[in-house]
Amino acid sequence: MAVNRVPVLKRCRSLGLEPAHLGIDKTSKRQVKRTNRKVSEYGLQLREKQKAKFIYGVLEKPLLNYYKKADRMKGQTGENLMAMLELRLDNVIFRMGFARTRREARQIVGHKFVLVNGKCVNIPSYQTKPGDTVEIKESKRSLQLFKDIRDLTTGVIIPAWMDSDIENMKGHVNQVPTREMIDVPVDEMLIVELYSK
């Protein structure tokens, strides 16, 4: 598996992202020194794609596959793409408040701590569906890791498209999120334009 070793705050600065979108409460004091170069249309599209890849922790090939699936689905391709990225199991774990960051959520899933509808799932890219119940294994809830997570994520705002009980580490996906419910600062239409060339 490819691992991105670029420091997170440095990458956030270069993409113009707030670290809070990744679940990180640190901020960088450095300013990006940009010359007054005009960014081309392709440059803007590429930056939006890189933002989406960085936020969700997805590599190039899987993102292209998501785009192809989204293009075949009914409705707008950009909205379908964002909904598919949001419904990834690692993102659902992060959104429910069972992990501090998406990277941590990915690790929790990989270590077989997660049950979906009572079955153990260890694939971070697993697509959850409306009606799915996602929970942390009962035997793992007492770990110090989850005690720390509970303390830090108690006041987290849970998106409208899911229910979450952080105390019992159990949640429910109610519906496919619409674009208005997704608070990620990515212009998905630019990604669609880039891939449709």
Same domain, 93 and 171: yes
13/78 same-domain check = yes
* 157 and 123 in a common domain: yes
In a domain, 32, yes or no: no
In a domain? residue 143: yes
Number of domains in the chain: 2
Q: What is the pTM of this model?
A: 0.88
Residue 127: domain span: 88-175
| Residue 92: other Cβ atoms inside 10 A | 26
Whether residues 146 and 118 share a domain: the answer is yes
pLDDT value, residue 34: 60
Closest residue by Cα to residue 195 from 15, 64, 70, 78: 64
Residue 191 and residue 171 share a domain? no
CATH number, domain containing residue 120? 3.10.290.10
Q: Kindly tell me the burial class for residue 94, based on how many C-beta atoms sit within 10 Å of its own C-beta (0-12, 13-18, 19 or more).
A: buried
Give domain status of residue 33, yes or no. Answer: no
In a domain, 153, yes or no: yes
CB 24 within 8 A of CB 102: no
126 shares a domain with 62: no
pLDDT, residue 25, reads 67
User: Do 156 and 124 share a domain, yes or no?
Assistant: yes
Per-residue pLDDT of the chain (197 residues; tens, 9 = 90+): 466 677 777 777 777 777 776 767 666 666 656 656 788 899 999 999 999 999 898 999 999 999 999 999 999 999 999 999 999 999 999 999 999 888 899 999 999 999 999 999 999 999 999 999 999 999 998 899 988 888 887 777 889 999 999 888 999 999 999 999 998 889 999 999 999 88
Whether 94 and 80 share a structural domain: no
Note the Cα 194 to chain centre separation in Å: 21
148 plus 165 within the same structural domain: yes
Q: Are residues 92 and 163 in the same domain?
A: yes
158 and 141 within one domain: yes
Instruction: Decide: 116 and 133 in contact? Cβ < 8 Å.
Output: yes
Whether residues 55 and 20 fall in one domain? yes
Examine residue 80 and state whether it is found in any structural domain, yes or no. yes
SS3 state at 175: coil
Q: Given the structure tokens 């785009």, which residue do they identify? A: 67
The answer as to whether 2 is a domain residue is no
